[in-house]
Amino acid sequence: MDQDLLKQPLALMDEGALTEIAYETEDARIRLSRRQEGGQAVVLGGAAAAAPAPAPSAAAPAPAAAPEPAEEEGLVIFTAPMVGTFYRAPNPEASPYVSVGDTVGPDSVLCILEAMKVMNEIKAETSGEIVAILAENGEPVEFGQPLFKIRPA
């Protein structure tokens, strides 16, 4: 894997404080995702190759499924890990990935966030029951905006 190919998306992530980016060229397709684990930023590669982890920055973003105070005690507020357009299903004719009352696991796809014409499947990263869906299908969402309420299993 050409290291120069990774420099541009990694620089964009650092400059924009992004937690996830998908990057595509004629030769490769890369999806990088940064998550907090034990206070250090970790970069996970996808599709074409795994990326080396950059040095942790002082302003690293919080994880997408961080527990926050909720109206109902014990719920996890799942927030948008990136800016994009929120879609509940893979296409307009398909059933939604999840509905209120569904049980999800860490690898369950909750929704799609479209950013720069790239469809990013967003996974639950936790197990539990969907209690509420807080975003509207087809509407833009901001980084950190609450998307789902999940009752942990």
Over the stretch 5-26, which tens digit does the pLDDT of each residue have?
A: 667 667 766 666 667 777 666 6
* Percentage of the chain modeled with pLDDT above 90: 48
Q: Length of the chain, please? A: 153
Q: Which helix (H) or strand (E) holds 20?
A: strand 20-24
Neighbours of 74 (CB within 10 A): 9
> Which CATH topology does 76-152 take?
OB fold (Dihydrolipoamide Acetyltransferase, E2P) (2.40.50)
Q: State whether residue 52 is helix, strand or coil.
A: coil
Q: How confident is the model at residue 129 (pLDDT cuts 50, 70, 90)?
A: very high
Domains of the chain, by residue range, sit at 1-61, 76-152
